[in-house]
């Protein structure tokens, strides 16, 4: 990679800004000042700027986040706090979330550098199941389970939802409880489906994507790299 591209990738500024730093002799490669922006460098070399080592984000990164309530899946600072705020600084710019969870939804979110993987996780044609645990108020229609299995036509949508598996649970606290497994991800889909069936979602948590359960070691707000086994459970190889 060119030295100016490397520095820019590391977040030291735009291509023009880093070229200026290089010309001024602020950058060293393996201990020697380098004033050539096109010089080829690699990750194994020691590169400094203003005497500080330059850290570059990993080229490939798959990260699991336990998204807490109150965080937006967005890059827009006005919408903060953002899920990116929960990631190490070096990871923030290089990963994108595989789909979105609403600000008021918690649970498992994959963020990755791999656009192909994102596509496989969110493309409804791949039919990858995502499981949502729901706490709701109100009474759902008697035929709610069958209607989800058939597909529901939601307001503002042209097509019915694809078949989804709704399971109703015993009420254990002040909310009614249900689980919904979806293989697509439309805007506010769970909330809109439950509303169409007569309920009002008060709590929403995603605890499984594909064969991968939200890892027990990830407390709300925590993230870490996904293991090869976890990626396989997400269907990465398919």
Residues within the interface to ligand URA (CB under 6 A)? 101-102, 105, 188-191, 204
In this structure, the strands spanning 47-49 and 165-168 are unpaired
The answer to whether the peptide bond before residue 133 is cis (omega within 30 degrees of 0) is no
Q: How far is the CB of 138 from ligand URA (least distance, A)?
A: 16
Q: What angle do CA 157, 158, 164 make, to 5 degrees?
A: 70
Helix (H, G, I), strand (E, B) or coil at 23: helix
User: Which of 215, 216, 148, 141 is CA-nearest to residue 179?
Assistant: 148
User: Which of 18, 59, 13 is CA-nearest to residue 39?
Assistant: 18
User: Which of 40, 56, 39 is CA-nearest to residue 48?
Assistant: 56
Q: Which is closer to ligand URA, CB of 120 or CB of 191?
A: 191
Catalytic annotation, pick one of 102, 114, 173, 207: 102
Q: Which is closer to ligand URA, CB of 19 or CB of 208?
A: 208
Helix (H, G, I), strand (E, B) or coil at 40: strand
Q: How far is the CB of 142 from ligand URA (least distance, A)?
A: 23
Helix (H, G, I), strand (E, B) or coil at 108: strand
Q: Which residue has the tokens 């710019």?
A: 93
Q: How far is the CB of 99 from ligand URA (least distance, A)?
A: 8
Q: How far is the CB of 113 from ligand URA (least distance, A)?
A: 23
Active site residue 157: no
Catalogue the active-site residues: 102
């Amino acid at each position: 990679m060119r030295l100016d591209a490397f520095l820019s990738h590391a977040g030291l500024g735009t291509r023009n800004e880093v070229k200026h730093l290089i010309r001024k002799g602020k950058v060293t490669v393996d201990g020697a000042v380098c004033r050539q922006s096109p010089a080829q460098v690699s990750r194994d070399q020691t590169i400094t700027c203003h005497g500080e080592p330059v850290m570059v984000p990993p080229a490939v990164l798959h990260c699991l986040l336990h998204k807490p309530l109150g965080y937006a899946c967005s890059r827009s600072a006005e919408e903060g706090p953002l899920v990116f705020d929960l990631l190490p600084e070096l990871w923030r710019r290089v990963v994108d979330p595989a789909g979105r969870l609403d600000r008021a939804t918690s649970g498992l979110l994959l963020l990755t550098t791999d656009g192909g993987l994102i596509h496989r996780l969110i493309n409804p044609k791949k039919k990858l199941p995502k499981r949502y645990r729901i706490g709701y108020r109100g009474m759902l229609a008697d035929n709610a389970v069958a209607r989800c299995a058939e597909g529901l036509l939601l307001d503002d949508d042209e097509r019915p939802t694809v078949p989804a598996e709704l399971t109703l649970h015993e009420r254990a606290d002040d909310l009614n409880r249900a689980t919904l497994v979806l293989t697509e991800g439309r805007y506010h889909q769970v909330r809109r489906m439950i509303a169409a069936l007569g309920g009002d979602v008060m709590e929403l948590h995603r605890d499984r994507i594909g064969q991968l359960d939200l890892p027990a070691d990830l407390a709300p707000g925590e993230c870490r790299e996904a293991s090869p086994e976890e990626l396989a459970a997400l269907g990465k190889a398919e």
